Chains A and B, each alone.
Chain A
């Protein structure tokens, strides 16, 4: 019976055919797109689109769309394929389990798109578990002829042999099929038009909209275009359009054999992938795409319902913690990875979840430490999860660093070109002058006029360059002021604690005076109390001075007395902390060492180092020590700043100067300190680096270099 042929009729009328086939699907690309959408909705993993000899158009030209989706039964064919407007997709907005795709073909008109592509269709479909393949042949030209006839207003004639679309018979028959195979193949011949290479390019772009930017989904959808005509499309896997639009993209993996994990590293204006030791959270795969504003706009145009909404965690191909990830509005989405939590996220060079799209892939086997919290809203807050978050943030900061470097390179180029233009103009003037001298009188006037014009232009160019430089400097100052305000914020919290304690003491002592004075019994208490109030007031004034200095702009260059400053910071400002934490300090500094730098900025740098060391010393139980040694090397002041604290882990060493990189988040570290120091020092051609610890095997030593002359 396999070749026995029967007939099926489409159950619709001409108006519907026209409306659906012609009006809704206006061109070939959309038609193709609609057909591939059908495959997507049928839980297809892979769909192949073949363009066989489509340029030039011949009898042999063919377009084949072959998928491995669910396929159709004869009943499906009769009740769904041959009927319009009864799209089952209208009722079910999700494709069958376990894929549960959000259906994309909503109109149920995909099949009428076929006639846009070619006049003849051979549909072959089979379901898993069936040993039969159903073949259905449709000749759209018959419908077209009939349509033409119906539209002729020739009632006399048509009344006699009125034939409707529903009367046209479509042959179908069965063929043997492998019981395990499923899928639908649409073979379209008698194609309507030639397909040029640019047509295929357009098709590729259109189809790419169906590909999720996250290829880490458990049931990925893959489209491959095969063309016999064009080498570029000989066998082309369609890539997500999101990826094509991304400004920066990176894909990271690992090597199980060698135990190496890939990470990003921004260096010399390049974003490279380097290998490091496996992190405690286990091996990770990561895809990350960054979109700048123009890229975002393009993305939004194409993906009306997909968002650029950060980096998601996939476990064994399925999105982890779905309840947290799928929130109706982006604002309510949880920022599990803490990307936006990086404070001051939208300042300067920070990237947030709305600039990033990506996935981080974990598996039960490789990342056993990452555990879903029972509410499925979060992960269990353990060391591994922290490490994973750290990894993600680390990659993002590298992209940030890369973007910054790129911007700087571009800026430097523009600067030098501008300067070059200025120099060129000056050269032209010189030449003109020369010519003018030897030129005849009547030309001289013209040349002089030109020379004047050039001179004017030169002035404008130079002015422009100067304005640009001033603006940049202003911007830098604003940034630096803001940064110092941010550290002030952290600092003021500590200061508030101390101040409140001091005020309490003053208040209660004076209260005692108010209530009891005079009383010979308390003569001694009064005397001591008054002294106490005075001393506490002094401390308060000192604290206020310090705060104010902090808030002041740090552009002024003054003479910094290194010894006095250090002694004040160690001996007075931090005395309280040092005593409380039992930290001893050692200062090695010569008298009369004067540095030409900004007082506040210098204090800020030392302040940050003290604060870092204090944190690092928390883990040490005894003999907590900070050493600050000043040396003079040629025309440079070198400060070696050491502590015998917990030290800096090998894996952390190369990124400690990155902004927001912190290992002390629990102790209130914001990852700002070393970044600020580095920025400030680089601004004055100084430097900071991590050198071998003076207290090895533990501890850390930083080498800070200040140029004496600027």
Chain B
């Protein structure tokens, strides 16, 4: 079954024509986008933040461009939940990984791994996406007509009006509100499901 997630590859060395991995990914995922420039990628990324995406990110870029560390940092300023997999040929003995871990890199792939290994890692990321609150919420919001998504939908305890999209943003950035909402939502879901008060449609 084809996943509805999109794969974004940010890598100055990745050419879809050179690497059949591209073909394989195309078959399994809704779309595969590639950026050879990290500057370009950072400019374009906001467009895709509302989609379900998984990012494959290289670390070394030409010196004029921000490197993978910087790119991940920037992504995390916008979205704390997108799985970002580092895919790099760096010398592991010399590279520093602490900032990558702190910025929740989803995993690390060496440059010379097989397509299979890439697929396995991506699959993990995809499962994570679909089981996360943001993923579920996203799916649910998307099922509403476009107009409704921007209407005030919920009123928080401090009486701020939030649209569905606002709410999604809070969850993605894992703000206090977002965190507390996710927590409550999880609690409620478990409660409802286990008391068989509600049935899910699948």
Contact = CB atoms under 8 A, between A and B. Distances in A.
A505 to B, nearest CB: 6
A508 interface: yes
Given A508-B20, A508-B21, A522-B23, A581 B91 contact: no
For the residues of A in contact with B, the DSSP-based class is helix
A529 to B, nearest CB: 6
B20 A500 contact: no
Interface in A492-526: 493, 496-498, 500-501, 503-505, 507-509, 511-512, 522, 525
Nearest to B63: A618
A500 B89 contact: yes
A528 interface: yes
Nearest to B23: A525
Interface in B98-115: 110-115
A501 B116 contact: no
Contacts of A525: 20, 23
Given A511-B115, A580-B12, A582-B64, A501 B89 contact: yes
Nearest to A522: B23
A75 interface: no
A270 to B, nearest CB: 41
A498 B116 CA distance: 22
Contacts of B12: 580
B201 interface: no
A529 B20 contact: yes
Contacts of A618: 63
A343 to B, nearest CB: 14
Tell me the dominant secondary structure on chain B's binding face. loop
B71 to A, nearest CB: 17
Nearest to B20: A512
A496 B91 contact: yes
B174 interface: no
Interface in A61-107: none
Interface string B1-37: 0000000000011000111110110000000000000
Contacts of B90: 497
Q: Name which of B17, B24, B111 has the most chain A CB atoms within 10 A of its CB.
A: B111
A528 B23 CA distance: 13
B145 interface: no
Given A511-B116, A525-B20, A581 B111 contact: no
Given A532-B18, A618-B63, A508 B114 contact: yes
B111 A621 contact: no
B51 to A, nearest CB: 26
Contact-residue size bin, chain B (C-beta under 8 Å from the other chain): 20 to 34
Contacts of B147: none
Interface string A174-189: 0000000000000000
A504 B112 contact: yes
B62 A508 contact: no
Given A501-B89, A528-B17, A582-B62, A512 B110 contact: no
A531 to B, nearest CB: 11
Please classify how large the interface on chain A is, using the bins under 10, 10 to 19, 20 to 34, 35 or more. 20 to 34
B18 A505 contact: yes
Interface in B157-173: none
A497 B60 contact: yes
Contacts of B19: 505, 508-509
| A501, A508, A618 — most chain B CB neighbours (10 Å) | A508
A667 to B, nearest CB: 9
A493 B62 contact: no
Interface in B73-131: 89-91, 94, 110-116
A501 B110 CA distance: 9
Nearest to A492: B91
Nearest to A532: B18
B64 A504 contact: no
A508 B14 CA distance: 12
A669 to B, nearest CB: 14
Contact of B111 (A500, A511, A522): A500
Contact of B112 (A500, A509, A529, A621): A500
A621 B114 CA distance: 37
Contacts of A497: 60, 89-91
A507 B60 contact: no
A365 B150 CA distance: 62
A509 B110 contact: no
B91 A507 contact: no
A82 to B, nearest CB: 66
Given A497-B91, A501-B89, A532-B18, A508 B63 contact: no
A501 B111 contact: yes
Contacts of B112: 500-501, 503-504, 507
Nearest to A615: B63
Contacts of A582: 62, 64
A504 B89 contact: yes
Interface string A615-633: 0001001000000000000
Interface string A596-637: 000000000000000000000010010000000000000000
Nearest to B90: A497
B111 A512 contact: no
Nearest to A667: B63
A495 B107 CA distance: 25
B114 A507 contact: yes
B63 A581 contact: yes
Contacts of A511: 20, 114-116
A507 B18 CA distance: 12
A650 B20 CA distance: 52
A140 B177 CA distance: 91
Contacts of A505: 18-19
Contacts of A580: 12, 62
A503 to B, nearest CB: 4
Contacts of B17: 528
9 contacts: A497-B60, A497-B91, A500-B112, A501-B89, A509-B19, A525-B23, A580-B62, A581-B63, A621-B64
Q: A-B pairs with the 10 shortest C-beta distances?
A: A512-B20, A504-B112, A500-B89, A503-B112, A504-B111, A500-B111, A501-B89, A508-B115, A580-B62, A497-B89
Interface of A: 493, 496-498, 500-501, 503-505, 507-509, 511-512, 522, 525, 528-529, 532, 580-582, 618, 621
Given A501-B111, A501-B112, 5 more contacts: A493-B94, A497-B90, A508-B20, A511-B20, A528-B17
